Structure 1
């Protein structure tokens, strides 16, 4: 069983530029997927923004990032994260991402983290992974849990 944690940064339109910069600093492979790639109509303002971005380097460096949809609050005190119209809206600057190899091992972690948590996205299959969920724990930390294997559904 291999579990990894990664900082997941939340931007307001400059995720692509930030990820390209981090790749230039740390090296590695850059992955960027826009909202339009997941079905958002290409003529909407956020269609070219990043819904999933990641830099992974052979030296062990990994960082994830996305662009918060434009209708999200610019700031919140304390930061709040919600799901509306199928999009994650947040005023937070980062999440903690936990990845595992199987839906079962990640699901077991999910079950433990839900104690006293606010569920944003219930854990289950997603468009990009056989297991994905998002919650804010009882201490106010927002976690993304997913399975690293690509979803073949």
Structure 2
């Protein structure tokens, strides 16, 4: 069993530029899945916005990013970071999810998503947003 926490940065239309910048600094690999790629376009002008992205450097650097859709509140400096917990054991992720949901508000239930076998998001009683997911085999 293994889990890792990762800084998950939130933007409003700038996630791809940020990921490209971090990739230029840290190297490694960069991935960006757009709203269009995920079949989740709700506003045409946001089709190329990043729904899920990351840079994973060969040196251990790892950052995730996404563009907060216009239908959701976004206030730079207030909700710019999520804590992402990624694991390789579905039972462990489900157990952590169960414990974190106590007193929390579930934003998205823990369930399969187009980009992960399990994915869920919640806001804990202290206002911290957590994203828990199960990594695809051979994913970072």
Give the deviation of 1:30 after TM superposition. 0.3
Give the deviation of 1:47 after TM superposition. 0.3
> CA offsets, 1:12-58, max 9 Å, x none?
11110100100111111000111001114598110011101100011
1:143 to 118, 130, 140: 130
Contact 2:68 2:74 in 1 (8 A): no
CA distance, structure 2, for counterparts of residue 105 and residue 29 of structure 1: 27
Check if 1:103 corresponds to 2:95. no
TM-score by length of 1: 0.83
Contact 1:42 1:48 in 2 (8 A): no
Contact 1:122 1:134 in 2 (8 A): yes
Root-mean-square deviation over aligned CA pairs: 2.0
- The secondary structure found in structure 2 opposite 1:131 is strand
Greater length-normalized contact order (CA 8 Å, ≥ 6 residues apart): 2
Equivalences, count: 137
- The secondary structure found in structure 1 opposite 2:9 is strand
The unaligned stretches of length 5 or more in structure 2 are none
The unaligned stretches of length 5 or more in structure 1 are 80-91
In structure 1, the partner of 2:5 is 5
CA distance, structure 1, for counterparts of residue 117 and residue 20 of structure 2: 28
CA change 1:123–1:40 in 2 (3 A) is: closer
- The secondary structure found in structure 1 opposite 2:93 is helix
